[in-house]
């Protein structure tokens, strides 16, 4: 999107009444989502795999891994998602990333903050960096926006420049897991 139309789009969002980020309906309730979409969002939480966050049908304890994580132990300490990724939640992401609805970053952070560890000692929040060309076309990094909101809500320091991006990755939309893995391979590094 060119600069001019992008600014125009942001201004329209500001002037026109608040719309539900999922379905686009005018939202008289004033919350981030209309009542119907709020009901259709599938919020995630324990019991779940302590590695990948896949929900369990019954509680296996806080340290339980799913079969996939046991077979391929993750290199991270755990991934958490606030909602299940489906047609409804995908609309939220798309409207933030491509629709310029930057206010959604706060709505997303509000759902994520409850999944942070209780002990905030030695924690920092850092976003995955955007490629400069994408920053140029989109003017913002959605990951940094959510990170800033999450830091404000939790009190955890926000440190934006820990990761560097070595290459531009293709858009992830429509790619399966294998292609996504290949696309981001070697794309990021930690600054020395
Ligand atoms: Zn809606
Ligand atoms: Zn797992």
Q: Which ligand sits closest to the CA of 29?
A: 1
Q: Which ligand sits closest to the CA of 60?
A: 2
pLDDT per residue as tens, the chain (192 positions):
455 656 555 554 555 556 776 777 877 666 667 888 888 889 899 999 999 999 999 999 989 999 999 999 999 999 999 889 888 888 888 888 887 778 888 888 988 999 998 899 999 999 988 766 665 666 678 899 999 999 999 999 999 989 988 877 777 778 888 888 888 888 888 988
Largest CA distance in the chain: 53
- Strand 188-190 with 163-165, pairing: antiparallel
| Ligand 2 geometric centre to CA of 47 (Å) | 12
pTM of the shown model: 0.76
| Ligand 2 geometric centre to CA of 54 (Å) | 6
């Amino acid at each position: 999107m060119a600069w001019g139309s992008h600014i125009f789009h942001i201004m329209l969002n500001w002037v026109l009444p608040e719309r539900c980020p999922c379905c686009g309906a005018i939202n008289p309730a004033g919350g981030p989502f209309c009542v119907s979409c709020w009901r259709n969002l599938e919020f995630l939480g324990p019991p779940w795999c302590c590695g990948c966050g896949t929900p369990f049908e019954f509680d296996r304890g806080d340290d339980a891994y799913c079969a996939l994580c046991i077979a391929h132990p993750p290199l991270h300490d755990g991934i958490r998602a606030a909602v299940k990724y489906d047609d409804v939640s995908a609309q939220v992401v798309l409207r933030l990333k491509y629709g310029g609805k930057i206010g959604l970053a706060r709505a997303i952070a509000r759902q994520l903050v409850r999944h942070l560890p209780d002990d905030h000692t030695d924690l920092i929040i850092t976003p995955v960096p955007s490629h400069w060309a994408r920053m140029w076309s989109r003017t913002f990094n959605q990951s940094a926006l959510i990170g800033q909101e999450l830091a404000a809500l939790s009190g955890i320091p926000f440190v934006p420049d820990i990761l560097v991006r070595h290459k531009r990755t293709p858009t992830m939309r429509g790619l399966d897991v294998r292609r996504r893995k290949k696309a981001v391979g070697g794309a990021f590094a930690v600054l020395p």
